[in-house]
Each structure stands twice: as C-alpha cells, then as structure tokens.
Structure 1
Amino acid sequence: MARNLFKFGVDPWDPTHRFETSWILSPFALFCCRALLSLYAFATLLTILIYDCIHSPEHCAESRATFSYFTHLTYWGLAFYFLVSAVHTFTYARSGIPLLAKLPRPLQALHSLFYTTVTVFPFIVTIVYWAQLYDGHWYTEVFRGWSNVSQHALNSAMALFEIIVPRTEPPLAIHMLWLIIILALYLCVAYVTYADKGFYTYNFLDPEEQGAMLAAWIVGIAVGCCILFGVVWGLIWMRKKVTEEKLGLKGKFFGGATAMEDASSSVVRELEEGKHEGSVPLENR
C-alpha cells in the first residue's frame, strides 16, 4: 500500500499528451477554453472579495476567513487548475512538447492528482450546499444569486468540462485514498479555524449542535466522496469508450499528428534526452 500511495506512474508518462489534448477540440481551442474558465473563476473570487469589503462589513469579515471554507478552497483550486492546465496546453499547441512533459515525475503525478480533485470535489460542494446549506429561498440580491450559482453550480459545470472534453484517462484508484486524506486535512483546518476564530465554517461540524450526527456527517461525506470518485471514473471511462472506440475520435494533436505519431515522437524525444527509464541512447541501439 505504501508503495502504491507514492506511485508516480510508469514510463513513458502520458505519451500521447492526454492532459493537453481533446477528442473534439484542437489544442489551441482547448487552451482558450481553459484560459477563459480560469479567468472567470479568478474574476468571480476577486469580485466577491472586493464587493463584500465595499458593501457589507459582515461579509467582509467572513471574507477574511475565506481560506477556511471548503467551497472557496475548491473554487481557488479550479481557478489555479485551469490556469496551470491552460499553460500546459498552450505550450503543447505551440511546440508539440507541453511544459508538463518537462517537469519531474513527482510533479507530473501531482498534476494527475490535481486533475482528480477538480473533477470530484466540486460535486461534493454542490451537493452539500443545495441539499443541506441552501435555505430554500432564492436570493433577493442579484449579486448574491450570481455569486452562489457561480460557486455552487458552475463549479460542477467546470468539473464536467474536464471530465468530458479532454482525453484524460480514468484516475488511478489510489487517488481515492488521497482524496480522503485531503478531506481529513480540511477537517483539521475547520477545527483550527474554530479554535482561532471562534466559529464553525459549517454548522454540521459543530459537535454541540450535531451530537452523534457529527460522526455520521463526517463518514457520510467520506463515503460520498468515494461514490463520486467511482462515478467520475465511470464517466471518464465511458467518454473514452464512446469517443475513441465507438466513434473513432482518437484526438486532435499538434500539427495534425495521429495518436500513434504523437506517442512515437514523445518517446523518441525522451530517448534522445535520456529521460526514458531503462533506455539506451539512440546511438547505441
């Protein structure tokens, strides 16, 4: 288990650049979509912070603790993921060699885990918010309605984009354990926030109010995370099955190359640079 927990993948890693290519969009089009989603997410976060500090002292005080809320943390995660993935996609579209391919293997593995978090956690936020936290009355302020829809509905739409549009493989099973570890670490953040600031980020984390239900909430969210991981894995597997095997849409690559040509050129580059694990330099082959 310990060996698998820190597994960084096999060589060659992502030979056909699935993280930077799509079965339907060209690399440049995928870059534009990711860049726009990143811009929207950052604009949303900054607009909410500025608006709250200008118009509402109460909300401004809450904004100072923004990184204590799982909702905001996952939304910042989406913003930075789309920024980073846009950079990788742009470098691939420009040269056929994404920046991601030049990074050390641990960072490549972390990018893969990053992808898994942005395709799973937003659904947890959306489900918990609309099922438990939403009071059933629509917002009287247009700004509040927009901000909550952006953070609690469009976040899942962004996750669906990454599930459906790129050529990514289903996530590694070990990622499910890492997701649980991240949730456990967030639980620590929530209780440190209470110890430092004197409030619970979410009412269902209050042991005095919830009693024995607190354990049920914690276990329920962990189980729900595992179920959502399975659903996301199945959706990505189904997308790959339908688009690549049934429809024959293998992907759109740099310079109009095929998947086989893209993989071959990647391996050749690695061999030439001596990066392929257990490889022999080309001149000695």
Structure 2
Amino acid sequence: MVRSPFRSNGEPWDPSHRFVTSWLLRPAVLAFLRGLFGIYILVTLIVVIIYDCRNLDLGGCAAAGDTFSYFTVLTYWGLAFYFIVAAIHTATYARTGSALLDRFPRFLQQAHGLFYSTITVYPFIVTAVYWGKLYAGPWFPLRFDAWRNVSQHAMNSGFALFEIVFARTAPQPWVHVAGLIVLLALYLGLAYITRATKGFYVYSFLDPAQKGGSGMIAAYVFGIAVGCLVVFAIVQGLIWVRRWATETKGGMTGKFARADRLAVDIEMVRPNKS
C-alpha cells in the first residue's frame, strides 16, 4: 500500500509546493526550463559517449565505459535525471495543481529532497576541483573537447545555481550532510574498485604512489569532505537570502498553478512552515 504523503500531524510533506514552484517563473515556464536543461545535459552525455566510441585511437567504447567511474560524469548524469524528473513533477503541478511528487510514498519524497541537495552541492565541488586542481592548460585545441569540458565542469554549476536562485525551495535539513558524505564515501570505494578491476586511477590524487603517499590521499579526501560541508552551508545561506529578499522583503510568495489554492492559503497564513 502506498503511504500517505502527509505527515503524522496531517500536514503534507511540501504544503506550499516549494519544490515545483518559483518566486518569479510560472510553473509551466519552470517546467519547460527544467526539461530543457535536462535534455541538454542528457544529449551532451550521449553525444560524448558516441564521440568517444568512434575515437578508436583513445580506446573507443571501452574508454567511453570508463567515464562512468568519474565523479564528474556521475554527477552530470545526476543533474540530467534531476531536471527531467523535476520537470515532470512541475508540469503535473502546473496542469492539475497537484504535483506527481505529492502522491509519492514518503521515503521517495524525502529522497527527492536529498536529490535536490546533491545537485546543488556536488556540481560546485566538481567545478572547484577540476579548474583548481586537475586543469593545467593550455586551452583545449579541439572545439569538441572545449565544449565537453565547459558543459561538464562549468555549466554544471550554472544549472545548480539556477535551482538555488529561482526555485522556491526552503533550506534543506542538515541531516542531508550525512547523506552527501556517505555518497562521497561510496564513490571513493568505486574509484578503488575501478583501480582493482581496470588498472587505473580515475583521479591522480588517489594514487598512493604520488608525492606524500597515503597521507596526501587522506588529506585530499578529508579536504573534499570538509568542502562538501562548507558548500552545503553556503547553499543553505544562499537559499535563506533568496527567501528573505524575494518573500520577506519583496512580497513575492510564489507563482502557483491556477488549480492550486491550498498553497496560496498556507503561504499567506504560515509562510515559514515549509
């Protein structure tokens, strides 16, 4: 039996539909943009796979398969699926006044909240690590490589920033930090499984043969974990500032679907409860 989407005290999980509305954009527009971003990211990933498969000099499809061991690629897939799923939820809300997400079991609703946290935190870590640690220049001689890297290592943070700025989401529970760290730990395990099964390190700083050995690896891993916490805190702050500026000061409580009246009533009576 599907569990009720309502809390034990009778309140819905997301009473004013913050995950599917914007303070500026109408739900239909928000759904369109989310879908557009999701399609762009998905097409980028597919085009890159096809390109790598055809490039036999660099390993062909075997090399393309190896990319699934990279945190950059996995988080980019995460962005694709998030925007496509979020677009579907937002479109159903725009059409009926009730998002598909509202009818999900509670654990899936909570998973969607954690999903939101991953796509608003991990992209910034990817961008910072790539341009700050891994990229050494010169600029890419091939336009395709430039487009691929800008899409995956720069535009990814732009997509994350869009969700932080334009969605009506509230600051997420701090317990999400634990989930983010656990996912990073699981990825670390994947990286060393890749080393054991395919014979290469996805990132050079995970190689114990590098200068500093295991101690340096521990420092990098700890640094990324701390960075994750810092980025999450910054994102929380940005969301708080956005709500303060748009809702408390600007009076822009949100653009709701015509069929939805519950969200408007709750927002007017209890603006800080969701």
Give the deviation of 1:53 after TM superposition.
1.2
Give the deviation of 1:177 after TM superposition.
1.0
CA contact 2:21–2:167 (8 Å) conserved in 1:
yes
Q: Which of 241, 250, 253 in structure 2 is aligned with 1:250? A: 253
Distance 1:41 1:9, change over 3 A: farther
Distance 1:133 1:65 in 2: 18
Which amino acid in structure 1 is aligned with residue 55 of structure 2? Answer: H
* 1:35 counterpart = 2:35: yes
Distance 1:162 1:200, change over 3 A: same
Q: Report the 3-state secondary structure (helix = DSSP H, G, I; strand = E; otherwise coil) of the residue aligned with 2:258.
A: helix
Aligned to 1:153: 154
Structure 1: gaps of 5 or more residues: 1-7, 265-285
Q: Deviations over 1:191-223 (max 9, x none)?
A: 000000010000000111141211100000000
Q: Report the 3-state secondary structure (helix = DSSP H, G, I; strand = E; otherwise coil) of the residue aligned with 1:255.
A: coil
- For 1:39-54, what aligned pairs fall within 5 Å after superposition? 39-54=39-54
The alignment yields a C-alpha RMSD, in angstroms, of 1.7
Structure 2: gaps of 5 or more residues: 1-6, 268-274
Q: Deviations over 1:166-187 (max 9, x none)?
A: 1001111000111011100000
Distance 1:127 1:236, change over 3 A: same
Aligned to 2:66: 65
Aligned to 2:231: 228
Give the deviation of 1:260 after TM superposition.
5.0
CA contact 1:250–1:259 (8 Å) conserved in 2:
no
Which amino acid in structure 1 is aligned with residue 254 of structure 2? Answer: G
Give the deviation of 1:263 after TM superposition.
3.8
Aligned to 1:175: 176
Aligned to 1:267: none
* 1:261 counterpart = 2:264: yes
Give the deviation of 1:259 after TM superposition.
7.0
Distance 1:37 1:91, change over 3 A: same
Which amino acid in structure 1 is aligned with residue 16 of structure 2? Answer: T
Give the deviation of 1:258 after TM superposition.
6.4
- TM-score of the aligned structures, taking structure 2 as reference length: 0.90
Aligned to 2:270: none
Give the deviation of 1:36 after TM superposition.
0.2
Distance 1:96 1:257, change over 3 A: closer
Aligned to 2:138: 137
Aligned to 1:124: 125
CA contact 1:116–1:175 (8 Å) conserved in 2:
yes
Aligned to 1:199: 200
User: Identity, % of aligned pairs?
Assistant: 53
Aligned to 2:93: 92
Give the deviation of 1:261 after TM superposition.
3.3
Aligned to 1:3: none
**Displaced runs of 4 or more, over 3 A:** 8-11, 256-264
Distance 2:65 2:137 in 1: 27
Distance 1:59 1:121, change over 3 A: farther
Which amino acid in structure 2 is aligned with residue 94 of structure 1? Answer: R
CA contact 2:97–2:259 (8 Å) conserved in 1:
no
Give the deviation of 1:71 after TM superposition.
0.3
- TM-score of the aligned structures, taking structure 1 as reference length: 0.87
How many residue pairs match? The answer is 257
Distance 2:153 2:190 in 1: 21
Q: Deviations over 1:70-94 (max 9, x none)?
A: 0000000000000000000000001
Which amino acid in structure 1 is aligned with residue 113 of structure 2? Answer: S
Q: Report the 3-state secondary structure (helix = DSSP H, G, I; strand = E; otherwise coil) of the residue aligned with 1:208.
A: coil
Distance 1:9 1:209, change over 3 A: farther
Aligned to 2:219: 216
Give the deviation of 1:56 after TM superposition.
4.1
Distance 1:209 1:14 in 2: 48
Q: Report the 3-state secondary structure (helix = DSSP H, G, I; strand = E; otherwise coil) of the residue aligned with 1:108.
A: helix
Give the deviation of 1:52 after TM superposition.
1.4
Aligned to 1:18: 18
Distance 1:124 1:104 in 2: 31
Q: Deviations over 1:147-176 (max 9, x none)?
A: 000000000000000000110011110001
Q: Report the 3-state secondary structure (helix = DSSP H, G, I; strand = E; otherwise coil) of the residue aligned with 1:207.
A: coil
CA contact 1:22–1:166 (8 Å) conserved in 2:
yes
Give the deviation of 1:65 after TM superposition.
1.4
